[in-house]
Amino acid sequence: MKIEQIYTGCLAQGAYYIVSENEAVIIDPLREVKPYLDRLEKDNVTLKYIFETHFHADFVSGHLDLSKKTGAPIVYGPTAAPEFEAIIAEDNQVFEIGKVKIKVLHTPGHTMESSTYLLIDENGIETAIFTGDTLFLGDVGRPDLAQKATNLTQEDLAGILYDSLQNKIMPLDDSITVYPAHGAGSACGKNMQKETVDILGNQKRTNYALNQPDKTSFIKEVLDGLTAPPKYFGMNVAMNKNGYESLDVVMNKGLHPISPEDFEALAEESGALILDTRGAAEFHKGFVPNAINIGLKGDFAPWVGTLIVDVKHPLLLITDEGTEEEVIIRLSRVGFDNVVGYLEGGFEAWKNAGKEIDEVKRISPAEFAEQFTADSTVIDVRKLTEYSAEHIDNAYNRPLDSISDWARNLDSSEHFFLHCAGGYRSMIAASILNSHGIRNFTEIEGGFNGIKKTEKLPTTDFVCQSKTS
């Protein structure tokens, strides 16, 4: 028997590949299925089942394409009602793969169809659980995403999740390995550990959610501090439940090079959003007017989903040459399939064609320290927990994910400085502000990490973030 965790850092997502004898299963596959097909061919095994722990909200699963390419059936837990053919398993139903078995444990609460898959090895020993978003390392799945679909309150769902954990997970042996669907950085939980695999006994001892004295306390603690989920989540759920266009079709449509002249005309005529995926260091020196910068080397897909939201919005891409395919794949992971094409030759081609260019004023932390005065306005776009841990005295906290709300209230006559932790998010914010005609700011290279090193600027006393989360 072989168990392989296939972890994708951008989404903090774990898919699982299990082989026994000449058969395999894949749990919670990502949208692009070629890596799985390559593994199957290399191991000379047949994919017997595709297991889905639930209808994912933060990414589009590869279940449909994988099933079409392999013939393997898709399996969901009880109560799931997808718009395509699938096996809807019963609670405690057992599936055989080679010499091992997978038992379905219905664990509703995160969503009502959420299920945990219990792996039983060739000796009949319960070995591992694949928990989806029911149990994370250090946390449990947020119980507020399925309210509209179930007509239940988040308190109702949290109570159901408590029962699932107490009745299905806690009785299992401490030696069982826990393989969750997500790790730290995912918006599906609030307190996840950086590790991606653990032993159940350790989670019973250390996971705050598993150590509540009763259901009432569990509900209160699990719901406390939950921020609003990203707005694209509902659209991803719909795609996973109702179906979507094959990634092959999406790639063929998106990998369309467009000359600078046609790119300019198409941007004006189509209303497409121009997405520039270059790094902040290059973007600020020059970019196509109104382009939004979300760098590929970062939490690219989640920020696209959070800030653009509408997965059907047409996109025109500006990329580092050679990364076009990767960009389209990573967009597809969160459902953004409507890529019209990309700028042929990248930004250099645009510049060489003599087209209009815009810039973001960026200064170093040292320059910021020289320019800063007691009257300076500073906007910090980090998360509240980061800001609460330490920030520049009198800086305003305006998290990037709510920029559409706070940007409209900015005073266009007052200059301000803009920063995040390292420069990635502040350049995203800068590009969005620019596209809305707000230009009276200076962005700080290196963000708060660089600002602290100057030791010349007044900051609040540091507070450990784990105590403010």
Helical ranges in 271-323 per DSSP H: 280-283, 300-308
Q: What is the mean pLDDT of the chain?
A: 95
pLDDT on residue 464? 60
Answer yes or no: is pLDDT of 466 > 50: no
Confidence of residue 445 (pLDDT cuts 50, 70, 90): very high
Quote the radius of gyration of the chain (alpha carbons, Å).
24
Distance CA 110, CA 77 (A): 13
Answer yes or no: is pLDDT of 431 > 50: yes
Distance CA 406, CA 396 (A): 11
Segment 85-115, tens digit of pLDDT: 999 999 999 999 999 999 999 999 999 999 9
Distance CA 188, CA 131 (A): 13
Check residue 459 and report its DSSP letter: B
Confidence of residue 295 (pLDDT cuts 50, 70, 90): very high
Segment 126-171, tens digit of pLDDT: 999 999 999 999 999 999 987 766 689 999 999 999 999 999 999 9
Confidence of residue 467 (pLDDT cuts 50, 70, 90): very low
In the chain, pLDDT over 90 holds for what percent of residues? 91
Q: Residue 27 is which amino acid?
A: I
Distance CA 255, CA 262 (A): 15
pLDDT on residue 362? 98
> How many angstroms separate the Cα of 221 from the Cα of each of 92, 111, 201?
29, 18, 21
Residue range 225-243: mean pLDDT, rounded: 92
What is the helix (H) or strand (E) element at residue 341, kind and residue range?
strand 339-343
Backbone angles phi, psi at 121, to 5 degrees: -75, 180
Confidence of residue 40 (pLDDT cuts 50, 70, 90): very high
Q: Give the best-scoring range by mean pLDDT among 151-160, 169-178, 457-466.
A: 169-178
Distance CA 449, CA 428 (A): 17
CB 36 within 8 A of CB 17: yes
pTM of the model: 0.92
Neighbours of 306 (CB within 10 A): 22
Distance CA 263, CA 266 (A): 5
In the chain, pLDDT over 70 holds for what percent of residues? 98
pLDDT on residue 121? 98
pLDDT on residue 469? 29
CB 291 within 8 A of CB 318: yes
> How many angstroms separate the Cα of 116 from the Cα of each of 103, 109, 323?
8, 12, 36
pLDDT on residue 149? 65
Segment 326-383, tens digit of pLDDT: 999 999 999 999 999 999 999 999 999 999 999 999 999 999 999 999 999 999 999 9
Answer yes or no: is pLDDT of 59 > 60: yes
* Burial class for 270, CB neighbours closer than 10 Å (0-12, 13-18, 19+): exposed
CB 183 within 8 A of CB 299: no
Backbone angles phi, psi at 396, to 5 degrees: -90, 135
List of residues 6+ apart from 375 with CB closer than 8 A: none
Side-by-side strand order, sheet with 177-180: 94-97, 100-106, 115-120, 126-132, 177-180, 198-199
**Residues β-bridged to residue 49:** 25
Distance CA 448, CA 422 (A): 6
Closest by Cα among 115, 110, 229, 211 to 158:
110
pLDDT on residue 146? 79
Segment 66-76, tens digit of pLDDT: 999 999 999 99
Angle at 292 between CA 290 and CA 296, to 5 degrees: 150
Q: State the Cα torsion 240-244-248-249 to the nearest 10°.
A: -160
Neighbours of 406 (CB within 10 A): 16
C-alpha count within 13 angstroms, C-beta hemisphere, residue 194 = 1
Mode of pairing for the β-strands spanning 74-76 and 46-51: parallel
Distance CA 179, CA 431 (A): 38
